[in-house]
Amino acid sequence: MGPRPNLLTRRAAGVASTTLALLLSTAAVGVVPAASAFSAAPDGACMEPADSHADARMKPGGAAKHDPNELTVNQVREREADMAAALRERANYRTGAGATALATVTIPVVVHVIQENTTRAGGNIPDSMITSQINVLNQAYAGATGGAVTAFAFRLDRINRVTNPSWYPIVQGSSAERSMKSSLRTGGKNTLNIYLGELSNNLLGWATFPQRNLSSMDGVVVLSESLPGGTSTNYNQGDTGTHEVGHWLNLYHTFQGGCGGSGDSVSDTPAEASPAYQCPTGRNTCSATGLDPITNFMDYTYDSCMYQFTPGQASRMLTAWNAYRAA
């Protein structure tokens, strides 16, 4: 199906229609929910571009150095095996120490605005765009835009503004990115650090997958003008943020693996041979049942076209949270 008209109306002005209360608390349950195989980035300090364990979203024609957009079969296999091991470790820890798995989660968010100077053209976006982005995240992950309800809500804790021309634009996989994150990242595994600014290689954003050992590279990078009310045409309703946070919570792209294999490791997202751009209603690139999931937040379509996570994706994110990011 195509874009939902009420979604277009709600986000056209760059702000959420309502402010969602952060109702998801840290209630606990005793078991990790059942799910299919899951993944995590391999441990290790080396975070060179080719194995930075990052995933990106890009505009049509965009190209990242050492393309971070799709994992190899071996990378997926390693991540899935590591996720299974992490789940076993967490289960043993809960049995021995009485720890519990979370059923609902409120994620603290720290936003780092990377600026070349104090002008809007130099990255100095207003606070209102950032608060609107948090509202968009809360709508998307609460199922308010028409998708599945997930366990996650987001609470903006701090906006940190940094004027540093050597970090601007933010270049994926660079030593400057490493320096920026090593200097600025704050909080534990459960804290979402978002870095905003101009980006390299026509990218809209990128993110790290969860790991057993917290890395200073952990977090999400988003083109500042892709936030609600930004200037990035067709990508300025905040869903680059939604997409990249999905990776941070352990989701693959819907087109991961193409038409064969385990795909994105979620059973209720139809197989998709390649990224979808714009809003190609009725697109069907694989022989398996179901049209391409062009309205899913984990594809590459226009913000106006994407509006949903699936129940399988919601389950995958929560299981990964309990394996990697829960205290």
For residue 292, give both structure tokens: 């391409």
Burial class (CB in 10 A: 0-12, 13-18, 19+), 37: middle
Integer Cα distance of 50 and 65 in angstroms: 9
Q: Is 198 a catalytic residue?
A: no
What sections of the chain are H helices per DSSP?
A: 5-12, 73-97, 127-141, 175-184, 239-248, 311-320
Q: Which of 116, 177, 225, 244 is catalytic?
A: 244
Count of Cβ atoms closer than 10 Å to residue 8 Cβ: 14
Burial class (CB in 10 A: 0-12, 13-18, 19+), 23: exposed
DSSP 144-183: TTSS---SEEEEEEEEEEEE-GGG-SB-TT-HHHHHHHHH
For residue 278, give both structure tokens: 């714009």
Integer Cα distance of 233 and 253 in angstroms: 22
Please, what's the b/e burial string for 91-101 (b: 16 or more CB within 10 A of its CB; e: otherwise)?
Answer: beebeeeeeeb
Active site amino acids = 244
